[in-house]
Amino acid sequence: MRLSPLLAAFAVLLVACDDPAPPASAEAPTPPAAEPVAPDTLDPATVSDGGGIPLSPAEVDRLVAEDSLWAEALRIHYDAVVLDGHVDTPTLMLDRGYRLGERHRRDHVDLPRMAEGGLDGAFFSIYVARGYGEGQAATDRALAMIEAVNQQVAGLEGAALVRTADGALSAARDGRAAVLLGLEGGHALQGSPEVLRLLAANGVRYVTLTHANTNSWADASTDAPRWGGLNTLGRELVTEMNRLGVLVDLSHVSDDTFDDALAVTRAPVILSHSSCDAIRPHARNVSDNMLRALADNGGVIMINFYAAYVAPGADLDDVLDHVQHAAEVAGVDHVGLGSDFDGVPRLPDGLGDVTRLPWLTHGLLARGFSEADVRKILGGNVLRVLAEAERVAEELRREAPPPPASGR
């Protein structure tokens, strides 16, 4: 497909990031290969940002007096690399002029509160609502949101737009919040590998194959099925995501789409913001069989905090139940955090914004998780998966040139 003039204009959007690439042209070329972190040199159990505890001495003393385990929890939490798989703050940034660098009383995420909560980085969701359809308007919406994030992050000393595992690690160790981009809503691709390449060239590092809606190539979990999973174009797009180093995100997809994607992908997949059906039955949550398949793939489920997916009258302990269940079924190497901050109307009691993340670390330790396992869950597992996707992408690009774009 040919790009519209508006798409072509956005295609030359220059992205400031850890591995700067030439701007994408109207032909949407493949981004140049990054210098990936070798997955076998990245130990999720020990990865560290070397950061200190930003809380006041009085607050630290208060917590430790309440429970001596807090001393260990604070040490681990603020030294670990903590990454969130899904925050919807970009929608606020584009639609409300929300300033990421300023502290807010409402909403869930901003740069000062990220520092207080020890959140070293997050995938910022480039969310495209189903109402934009599956054409140019949806892609334009995604590109406008990417530009809004770029403009704000470029002006902040405490944040950096990054594209790789190494970039996220480097930013965290420099004391800057790592901002990665994930597209939520595969309909924004217009069923086009060319548009996928354009968005990847502009920084997108995962694609949620569907949102609430079934699209022209993949069935959603909360919409009527059309394809029985992925159709031929859907399988082609998953393969192209592998080649680009773009993570395949299976949150929101139907069970059949989940199975088809695992059958096609050569890279580990993610569930950027999903929880466990065995704890809270819901179409958006993941069965134990899916958790076991995810483990076989080497991927990671990042537990969603949205109260509706967690439990009636949800609180912090209910979120910990989901983390623990996923770790017991899939294994602790396959669990992370995907809050859905700024994208949901209600969070569990005790987990009302990003400043409350240390309470998750304390809760995991109280349940008997080891320091190594806590570090994996907080962010190490996500770094491993991102690094492995980068390795697979480099391998695929050596094997074959990009496939021709197909129509619908």
Check: CB of residue 303 under 8 Å from CB of residue 274. Answer: yes
Residue with tokens 């129509």: 407
Active site residues: 86, 88, 184, 211, 252, 273, 340
344 CB contacts (<8 Å, ≥6 apart)?
305, 306, 307, 308
Check: CB of residue 275 under 8 Å from CB of residue 309. Answer: yes
DSSP code of 30?
P
φ, ψ dihedrals at 48, nearest 5°? -140, 150
Joined tokens for residue 207:
């694609």
Joined tokens for residue 119:
């959140």
CA–CA distance from 125 to each of 69, 78, 84, 339, 361 (Å)?
34, 24, 11, 11, 24
Joined tokens for residue 344:
């949901």
CB count in 10 Å sphere of residue 67: 12
Alpha helices, H only, 298-380? 307-310, 316-330, 357-366, 371-375
